[in-house]
């Protein structure tokens, strides 16, 4: 539903005094209205419905908060059209005609300033080979491949960015990477492109009124990108060939030379290990950095000075929950700090903003994650992104003065709460007396009998699952199966000690935690002990294979997607690709085991070495271009299973890497996994 067309505001009355600085707000009086649904006719979503593209793709709040741009995609038959709806937040009756983008793939929108809106578009040639483009007021603008279009706030005066760089336009597939909005120079933005002539990442300053781009700086052949402050590059990232080791270089404003700060490992989620710049500050050359001090369990946010390359005072910390990042306004003022928990938790610095946020959270309830998405310059209006296990996501506009909450748009309105499976956190008591958290998702169709269950260990392994919408989880639950996601020791998000507890325990302690979670759910009577399967991606794929080795009587089907199988080979690959003296190789030796000192343990923890112990049929899926966990791993496992006379299906996804899969890739993975598990349960 689009607010500009038909949605009435939903009022929240926080009922807190203007001078209340306690951060408390009374529960909202407004009550959500839920569609009346006949429980007997609830139909869980199909794989196609789960993969169907979003209807509302993005929203953007103008710097002064007076209007919102809402990016909408509409499907009719085999045609998809995009448009931008402008919504006046001030209650003005002035009507702005929606901008029709035609049969164009549009990714996002963002205000460059009060007058200009940026639109990310992806274009290809049509079936006849003619160039694709956009018509604006009768003017055809050809836009090849991926570009950014800048238009006026009234939808007029469109220009394609980089339009004066004809050579770049012809050679470049992607001209859509905005690095900095340059708030001190609102007419220009900073963009990064891959220069196909020099084969280096390059920075350009681009005028959002004319589209003209001017070269600013070129990186080295190994440069990944920059971290900037008001248009000034102050941090540069150079990486090795696989992107697993990153050199962090610093340069204070006014300096010419880059200085190496340190080399760090990049994890599976593309984040830097124990070091992440989370926001600039208003002070030139000073950034906020998320880091974990030596001997500390939880990360803290500290100030980092690019001139002295020194870490300063603690800005924020939490003794019990890891800090994830900060939300800042356009002037780099910190408004809130997010911490890792079962659901998103944002601590607003200003007590009055904290009180409003508490009221909004109460309105949506414990099942939703409410995250700040955009904010006006005066902090009077916010866009919040609201999501949860049964909420794929929606954009809401909140007006602080009016205490008014308005729905801007649901991303996937056909995936209603009633059709999606609920998820809950379950404390698990492990065999050695520790407590971990697992998430149990229950199908929407009621049953008075124990259900089949799929165990879905996460990848990483130093990441975690949360109470959130998950495509794989909902696809499995839609089949009538329970889905269990344990955050075993070795996971991230619980502090360094919890992550370190999994070091060199891939084949035992981390597996025991998964087994203990399964046993507790079975003992509760919820799961059928004769119909349990295990499935995972990356480390989760390894955990699935190792689980089948350790508990052959427990699992009736096994799915490993891009998973390790031979740990000795995994370490050898890291050593050859990253270097024996690299941070990445040292990390994996510390995490998995040393190939010399721990060889016996590594062999015992390698599923390919113990394929003969597996009883359940195994499905292996792997991308041929995976450079994180190479396809050789699944080939080794398939060969070992075949030699042992065990049932195995091995599928390779041509041209596919470790992540960032297309919808077609996901459809194949989900469909094949469901078919394989269903056969195992039969």
Instruction: Determine the angle formed by the axes of helices 567-578 and 583-591, rounding to 10 degrees.
Output: 160
Q: Is residue 655 part of a domain?
A: yes
- 543 and 435 in a single domain? The answer is yes
Pairwise CA distance, residues 403 & 399, whole Å:
6
Q: What is the pLDDT of residue 19?
A: 33
Q: Is residue 70 part of a domain?
A: no
Q: Is residue 448 part of a domain?
A: yes
Instruction: Determine the average pLDDT of the residues in 84-93.
Output: 82
Minimum mean pLDDT range among 246-260, 520-534, 606-620: 246-260
Q: Is the pLDDT of residue 29 over 60?
A: no
Q: Among 341, 371, 390, which residue terminates a domain?
A: 341
Supply the range of the domain harboring residue 670.
421-566+611-681
Minimum mean pLDDT range among 222-226, 274-278, 441-445: 274-278
Domain count, the chain: 3
CATH of the domain at 471: 3.40.50.1820
**Which of 124, 186, 176, 180 is CA-nearest to residue 148?**
176
Contact between 556 and 530 (Cβ < 8 Å): yes
- 327 and 471 in a single domain? The answer is no
**Which of 594, 590, 591, 614 is CA-nearest to residue 603?**
594
Preceding amide of 461 cis, omega within 30: yes
Q: Is residue 588 part of a domain?
A: yes
User: What φ, ψ does residue 637 adopt, rounded to 5°?
Assistant: -65, -40
Number of other residues whose CB lies within 10 A of the CB of residue 19: 6
- 622 and 670 in a single domain? The answer is yes
Q: What is the pLDDT of residue 8?
A: 39
Pairwise CA distance, residues 561 & 155, whole Å:
45
pLDDT digits (tens, 9 = 90+) for 359-403: 999 999 989 999 999 999 999 999 999 999 999 999 999 999 999
- 534 and 673 in a single domain? The answer is yes
Minimum mean pLDDT range among 213-222, 236-245, 567-576: 236-245
Q: Is the pLDDT of residue 270 over 70?
A: no
Instruction: Determine the average pLDDT of the residues in 233-239.
Output: 94
Q: Among 550, 576, 605, which residue terminates a domain?
A: 605
Pairwise CA distance, residues 349 & 336, whole Å:
6
- 550 and 674 in a single domain? The answer is yes
- 497 and 634 in a single domain? The answer is yes
Q: Is the pLDDT of residue 143 over 90?
A: no
Q: What is the pLDDT of residue 126?
A: 59
- 488 and 572 in a single domain? The answer is no
Q: Residue 523, SS3?
A: helix
Q: Is residue 162 part of a domain?
A: no
- 554 and 675 in a single domain? The answer is yes
Q: Is the pLDDT of residue 349 over 50?
A: yes
- 468 and 617 in a single domain? The answer is yes
- 667 and 540 in a single domain? The answer is yes
Pairwise CA distance, residues 133 & 362, whole Å:
45
- 334 and 303 in a single domain? The answer is yes
Q: Is the pLDDT of residue 629 over 50?
A: yes
Q: Is residue 150 part of a domain?
A: no
Instruction: Determine the average pLDDT of the residues in 335-343.
Output: 92
Q: Is residue 21 part of a domain?
A: no
Q: What is the pLDDT of residue 128?
A: 64
pLDDT band (50, 70, 90) for residue 606: very high
Q: What is the pLDDT of residue 169?
A: 75
Rg (CA), the chain: 26
Three-state secondary structure of 225-273: EEEEECCEEEEEEEECCCCCEEEEEECCCCCCCCEEEEEEEECCCCCEC
User: What φ, ψ does residue 280 adopt, rounded to 5°?
Assistant: -75, 170
In order, the DSSP letters of 472-500 are HHHHHHTTT-EEEEEE-TT-SSS-HHHHH
Q: What is the pLDDT of residue 398?
A: 97
Phi-psi region of 391 (alpha: psi -120 to 50; beta: other; left: phi over 0): beta
Q: Among 306, 325, 341, which residue terminates a domain?
A: 341
Half-sphere exposure in the Cβ direction for 116 (13 Å, CA):
22
Instruction: Determine the angle formed by the axes of helices 509-523 and 539-550, rounding to 10 degrees.
Output: 70
The whole-chain average pLDDT of the chain stands at 88
- 552 and 584 in a single domain? The answer is no
User: What φ, ψ does residue 303 adopt, rounded to 5°?
Assistant: -85, 140
This model's pTM is above 0.95: no
Q: What is the pLDDT of residue 1?
A: 29
Contact between 463 and 492 (Cβ < 8 Å): yes
pLDDT band (50, 70, 90) for residue 245: confident
């Amino acid at each position: 539903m689009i607010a500009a067309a038909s949605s009435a505001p939903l009022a929240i009355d926080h009922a807190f005094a203007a001078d209340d600085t306690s951060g408390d707000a009374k529960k909202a009086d407004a009550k959500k209205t839920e569609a009346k649904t006949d429980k007997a006719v609830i139909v869980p979503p199909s794989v196609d419905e789960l993969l169907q593209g979003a209807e509302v793709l993005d929203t953007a709040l103008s710097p002064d908060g007076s209007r919102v741009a809402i990016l909408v995609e509409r499907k009719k038959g085999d045609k998809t059209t995009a448009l931008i709806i402008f919504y006046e937040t001030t209650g003005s009756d002035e009507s702005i005609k929606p901008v029709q983008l035609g049969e164009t793939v549009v990714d996002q929108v963002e205000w460059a300033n009060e007058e200009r809106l940026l639109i990310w578009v992806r274009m290809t040639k049509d079936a006849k080979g003619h160039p694709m483009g956009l018509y604006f007021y009768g003017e055809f603008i050809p836009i090849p491949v991926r570009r950014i279009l800048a238009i006026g706030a009234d939808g007029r005066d469109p220009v394609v960015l980089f339009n004066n760089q004809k050579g770049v336009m012809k050679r470049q597939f992607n001209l859509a990477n905005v690095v900095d909005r340059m708030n001190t120079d609102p007419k220009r933005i900073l963009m990064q492109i891959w220069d196909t002539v020099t084969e280096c990442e390059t920075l350009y300053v681009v005028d959002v009124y004319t589209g003209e781009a001017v070269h600013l700086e070129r990186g080295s052949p190994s440069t990944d990108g920059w971290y900037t402050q008001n248009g000034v590059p102050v941090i540069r990232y150079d990486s090795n060939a696989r992107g697993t080791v990153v050199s962090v270089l610093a340069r204070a404003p006014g300096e010419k030379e880059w200085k190496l700060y340190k080399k760090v490992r990049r994890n599976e989620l593309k984040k830097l290990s124990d070091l992440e710049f989370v926001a600039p500050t208003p002070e030139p050359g000073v950034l906020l950095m998320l880091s974990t001090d030596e001997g500390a369990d939880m990360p803290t946010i500290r100030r980092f000075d690019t001139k002295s390359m020194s870490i300063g005072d603690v800005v924020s910390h939490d003794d019990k929950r890891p800090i994830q990042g900060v939300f800042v306004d356009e002037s780099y003022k910190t408004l809130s700090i997010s911490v890792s928990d079962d659901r998103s938790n944002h601590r607003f610095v200003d007590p009055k903003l904290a009180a409003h946020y508490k009221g909004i959270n109460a309105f949506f309830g414990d099942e939703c994650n409410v995250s700040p998405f955009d904010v006006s310059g005066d902090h009077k209006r916010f866009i919040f992104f609201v999501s949860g296990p049964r909420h794929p996501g929606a954009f809401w506009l909140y007006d602080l003065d009016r205490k008014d909450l308005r729905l801007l748009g649901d991303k996937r309105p056909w995936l209603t709460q009633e059709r999606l499976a609920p998820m809950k956190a379950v404390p698990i008591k492990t065999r050695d007396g520790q407590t971990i958290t697992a998430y149990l998702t229950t199908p929407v169709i009621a049953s008075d009998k124990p259900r089949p269950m799929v165990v879905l260990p996460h990848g990483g392994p130093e990441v975690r699952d949360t109470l959130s919408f998950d495509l794989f989880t909902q696809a499995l639950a839609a089949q009538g199966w329970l889905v269990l996601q344990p955050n075993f020791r070795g996971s991230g998000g619980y502090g360094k000690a919890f992550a370190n507890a999994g070091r060199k325990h891939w084949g035992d302690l981390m597996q025991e935690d998964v087994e203990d979670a399964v046993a507790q759910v079975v003992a509760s009577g919820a799961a059928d002990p004769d119909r349990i399967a295990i499935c995972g991606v990356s480390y989760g794929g390894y955990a699935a294979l190792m689980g089948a080795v350790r508990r052959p009587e427990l699992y009736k089907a096994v799915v490993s997607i891009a998973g390790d199988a031979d740990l000795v080979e995994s370490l050898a690959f890291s050593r050859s690709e990253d270097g024996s003296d690299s941070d990445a190789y040292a990390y994996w030796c510390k995490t998995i085991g040393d190939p010399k000192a721990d060889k016996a343990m590594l062999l015992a923890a390698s599923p390919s070495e113990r394929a003969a112990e597996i009883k359940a049929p195994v499905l292996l899926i792997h991308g041929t271009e995976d450079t994180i966990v190479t396809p050789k791993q699944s080939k080794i496992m398939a060969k070992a299973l075949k030699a042992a006379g065990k049932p195995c299906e091995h599928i390779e996804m041509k041209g596919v890497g470790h992540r960032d899969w297309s919808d077609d890739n996901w459809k194949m993975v989900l469909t094949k996994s469901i078919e394989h598990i269903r056969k195992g349960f039969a």
